[in-house]
A = this chain, B = another copy of it.
């Protein structure tokens, strides 16, 4: 006998009495059995946010639940997502020349730590081709260069490649190019970036050098959704480590890599487990 199907439902809408009873009542009618539920009302905006994990009986399917729930969601005026937890998310990785985040994510993918499939890896440089192909994955070299108009053309081509690959999630693994706003907008809350500082400190270039110069005692990394504005999207996760006085900027880069790997891997995991609901400028992460 195969294990039961577990569905993940995330949802947000204006708060009012009876929302939770309405939703859980619907799932109960479908003979769904909850395994993990988190609900939170943002008292400042009076907003209802929730995540539900539940097992469905063999008589139900993702599609039947989706179809029936759509009626309720419309009634509630809710934004929502429903997924089968076991179905791998199609995830495209983008990388430049540094491979630490890439290698880390590939290991987690190969070891089934992350429920993702990787149709391809894209880079603006050719350096990491062999380490990607060694994993049996297609590698696409797509340079981003030239003047503004030419770069724009490059990003159009990139958008085509992403679209053809059926990307559901895009992970920028220290990809050193800034996605244009229109491209972020095509994948709302589905482009994950890693920045090598504790944002909002040291947004932009060379954060470890600036952290060294400022003499901070803690450095870190921030996993966030990419938006039009550089390093300003909703923060998913942050990792931190102590900087010692004898650490040079290069030491900070080395220590920071461990933060970057962990912050990105954990952030991607939260996304893949549908633990995140973005509310305004904030990412609500249930069970992080």
| Interface residues of A, Cβ cutoff 8 Å to B | 15-22, 24-25, 27-28, 31-41, 43-44, 50, 99-100, 103, 107, 111, 113, 134, 198-202, 212-218, 220, 234-238, 240, 244-246, 248, 254, 258, 262, 265, 281-288
Contact = CB atoms under 8 A, between A and B. Distances in A.
Nearest to A239: B218
Nearest to A276: B245
A115 to B, nearest CB: 12
A98 B44 CA distance: 25
Contact of A43 (B215, B220, B245, B248): B248
B17 A37 contact: no
A84 to B, nearest CB: 18
Contacts of A36: 39-41, 246
A100 to B, nearest CB: 7
Contact of A281 (B35, B214, B217, B236): B214
Given A24-B24, A216-B238, A244-B287, A15 B40 contact: no
A15 B33 contact: yes
Nearest to A215: B282
Provide the main secondary structure of the chain A interface: mixed
Q: How many copies does the complex hold?
A: 4
Contacts of A235: 214-217
B100 A111 contact: yes
A109 B28 CA distance: 43
A286 B39 CA distance: 12
B38 A20 contact: no
A34 B39 contact: yes
25 contacts: A17-B28, A21-B24, A21-B28, A24-B24, A35-B43, A37-B37, A37-B39, A37-B50, A38-B38, A43-B248, A44-B248, A113-B254, A134-B134, A198-B198, A199-B214, A200-B216, A214-B281, A214-B282, A215-B235, A215-B283, A217-B235, A217-B237, A217-B238, A240-B240, A244-B287
Given A20-B27, A37-B50, A40-B245, 11 more contacts: A15-B33, A20-B37, A21-B24, A24-B24, A43-B248, A99-B111, A134-B134, A200-B202, A215-B235, A216-B235, A245-B284
Contact of A41 (B34, B213, B236, B258): B34
A27 B21 contact: yes
A40 B51 CA distance: 12
A287 B288 CA distance: 10
